Amino acid sequence: MRRPALLIAAAHSGAGKTTVALALALALRERGRSVQAFKTGPDYLDPAHLAAATGRPVYNLDGYFLDEAGLGWLYRSRSAGASFALVEGAMGLFDGKDPRGREGSSAQVARLLGLPVVLVVDAGAMAGSIAALARGFRDHDPGLDLAGVVANRVAGPGHAAILREALAAVGIPLLGTLPQDPALALPERHLGLVPPEEADLPREALRRAARGLDLAALLAAAGRARGPRRAAPPYDPDRRYPGARIAYARDRAFFFYYPEVLEALAELGAELVPFSPLADPAPPEAGLVWLGGGYPELFAPELARNRTMRRAVRRHPGAIYAECGGYLYLARGLVYEGLCHPMVGLVPGVAEVADRPVLGYREVEALRPTRIFAPGERVRGHEFHHARLPPSRTPLWRLSGGGLEGHTDGRVHASFVHLYPLSNPRVLYAMLEASGGSLAGGRA
């Protein structure tokens, strides 16, 4: 079945992709459409807002993490049952792991999944130049289907008329305009948007913005979507690991998880039990405790006050896997706003918030045997953080570009790298075994 679909891209970050995607998702949903949203690239925050708008989980599509068949499987399986698929791009359309945008870019996802592209342009200080910009994006990769442009921060009808005429001269339709409306701004902090649990969607402003979208033209363009040519899961869905139990931190301080990874673990037999390092006295009984990323620095005093939780995590007998925010929580202390707050103490050193961010794709190689990783095991992921810790004497990873990262003692696995276990299903299976699961039937 060919499903109407669009990929919302932009010339650069901050042009208004998320605003357009949210406005379109709300408009379609209020007209009776079931919208399945996706986000390209490694991102946890934009998907949370898209999930609030669509009422469905939002999944990440990344051509660096998954091959064409894996992308096709994720897109096809998660959009089943929806009447419209909406993909929000990341950064600029051709921004990715390499300068030409061949890997890890929104353009790669659009190309592999056969998705028409809507280019969002910040036209607040632009008139006829919009045509040159849009034509450049169209002609840069003739293999992409550039459906048209949505112009953001448009001053009024006169401005919109100039933009429409300029684009028409190069054969590119204007598919809508969004106004210069401060009410559309979504609050941000150092890692991106503030999650919707802390800042509600500006639904009325988004409804007003949606009136400037040409829904008929957008739906017609979406009807050109071809869908993926290949689709196959990156892991064996017939494997089962009875007995696997994973306790994972989920509250205001820790919530960075890929839903497709959690769903894969559950499909393969894991019982996933959430807990709160902020509010609970101890993690649930489980073979593996998973401390995902988030904002522990913003809740450092509360995390420090929960001594029973910190003690319980420190004494947990099973495997502990922590990434980014979870890594900070396992440190001896966490400095925030000039004060050092005691943390769990399983990672040597004190964590501090840094002035400059560290970000980028990573491929890592395990350095030593642990409860999850065999030496030499490789898996892909990404880093994005404003924090630092002193180097460990027993690092967990060797980075493919050089350097060592993280900390391990065989039981504790802690690192700034957010792994994408679907990029290497052996890691997925090893997490299940470390959580107490045994492969049913003993198959290799």
> Where does a domain end: 222, 254, 271?
222
> Where does a domain end: 191, 222, 253?
222
> Where does a domain end: 207, 222, 237?
222
Instruction: Output helix, strand, coil percentages for the chain, rounded to the nearest 5.
Output: 30, 30, 40
46: in domain: yes
61: in domain: yes
Q: Please, which pLDDT band fits residue 84 given cuts at 50, 70 and 90?
A: very high
Inter-residue contact 21 to 88 (CB < 8 Å) = yes
28, pLDDT greater than 70: yes
State whether 55 and 200 are in the same domain: yes
190: in domain: yes
What does R_g of the chain's alpha carbons equal in angstroms?
23
State whether 261 and 197 are in the same domain: no
State whether 217 and 323 are in the same domain: no
Cite the active site residues: 324
427: in domain: yes
Mean pLDDT for the stretch of residues 384-388: 88
CA-based nearest residue to 191, from 419, 420, 422, 418: 418
Q: Please, which pLDDT band fits residue 442 given cuts at 50, 70 and 90?
A: low
Using one digit for the tens of pLDDT, what is the confidence trace for 208-218?
999 999 999 99
CA-based nearest residue to 20, from 191, 212, 172: 212
State whether 265 and 204 are in the same domain: no
240: in domain: no
443, pLDDT greater than 70: no
Mean pLDDT for the stretch of residues 59-72: 97
State whether 56 and 120 are in the same domain: yes
Which has more confidence, 202 or 245? Answer: 245
176, pLDDT greater than 80: yes
State whether 271 and 123 are in the same domain: no
168: in domain: yes
Mean pLDDT for the stretch of residues 220-239: 96
Q: Can you count the helices (H) and strands (E) in the chain?
A: 13, 24
198, pLDDT greater than 60: no
Look at the chain and report how many structural domains it folds into: 2
Using one digit for the tens of pLDDT, what is the confidence trace for 125-166?
999 999 999 999 999 999 999 999 999 999 999 999 999 999
Domain range for 420 is 245-442
DSSP state of 252: S
State whether 196 and 66 are in the same domain: yes
Strand bridging mode 412-415 / 407-408: antiparallel
117, pLDDT greater than 60: yes
Of 29-33, 192-196, 261-265, where does mean pLDDT reach its minimum?
192-196
Mean pLDDT for the stretch of residues 60-81: 97
239: in domain: no
Q: What per-residue confidence (pLDDT) applies to 199?
A: 55
State whether 197 and 256 are in the same domain: no
* Residue 62 main-chain phi, psi, to 5 deg: -140, 120
CATH number of the domain enclosing 345: 3.40.50.880
Scan for tokens 């690239």, then name that residue.
41
State whether 216 and 319 are in the same domain: no
Using one digit for the tens of pLDDT, what is the confidence trace for 335-379?
998 999 999 999 999 999 887 778 899 999 999 999 999 999 999
CB atoms closer than 10 angstroms to residue 148: 20
State whether 215 and 249 are in the same domain: no
CA distances from 356 to 146, 352, 384 (A): 35, 12, 11
235: in domain: no
CA distance 379 to 364: 6
CA distance 111 to 228: 9
Mean pLDDT for the stretch of residues 414-440: 96
Using one digit for the tens of pLDDT, what is the confidence trace for 232-287?
999 999 999 999 999 999 999 999 999 999 999 999 999 999 999 999 999 999 99
Q: What per-residue confidence (pLDDT) applies to 188?
A: 60
CA distance 87 to 110: 9
Inter-residue contact 369 to 375 (CB < 8 Å) = yes
State whether 168 and 51 are in the same domain: yes
Token digits for 292?
A: 């995902």
Q: What per-residue confidence (pLDDT) applies to 355?
A: 78
State whether 158 and 14 are in the same domain: yes
CATH number of the domain enclosing 15: 3.40.50.300
For 89, the 3-state DSSP assignment is: coil
Q: Please, which pLDDT band fits residue 192 given cuts at 50, 70 and 90?
A: low
Inter-residue contact 180 to 154 (CB < 8 Å) = yes
